[in-house]
Amino acid sequence: MTPVTEVFARFAVLVEDSKYNKLSDEEIDFILTKYLESAFVLFKEFNVKFKPTIFTDEIGEKYIQKNNEEEVDLEEQQILAYGMVIAWHESKIYRDKFLKQGMNTKDFNQLSNATMLMNNRELYEVSKKEFVKRRRRYRNRDWNGDDL
């Protein structure tokens, strides 16, 4: 089993969000756990092969448990972290879209949310491309060319 904090730390390196400073540890853990669950769904190769679950031990520490009891390797952790980044960006984009719907265009543009939305979309696309590239590399890592 691999502690979820290892994947959370990789996510934190990729994302800086000051809103987490205002939240309790329990709220942060809840949000990051939901992002991790979303990453499981996005990382189809990992999800289908290992059926990962988040397991909490008797002292409250959370772990990622694979059906074969192996540790989540570094490459898998990094891909999961990028999946969490995608989930994080999606939440930012949806929030800004809902904000835009509640305001007129002039107010939305003056509050610089239009620029933030555009930047979040660009970063989302970059993160998604990196995630797909890493998944492709993961999918092909055991292939030695003998299947031809």
pLDDT digits (tens, 9 = 90+) for 9-59: 999 888 877 777 788 989 989 999 999 999 999 999 999 999 999 989 999
Query: pLDDT band at residue 124, thresholds of 50, 70 and 90?
Result: confident
The yes-or-no verdict on residue 1 having pLDDT over 90 is no
Mean pLDDT of the chain: 83
Q: Rounded mean pLDDT of 68-91? A: 91
More confident residue, 77 or 122: 77
Average pLDDT over residues 69-78: 91
For range 125-130, the mean pLDDT: 92
Write the burial class of residue 115 (CB in 10 Å: 0-12 exposed, 13-18 middle, 19+ buried). exposed
Q: How much is the pTM? A: 0.80
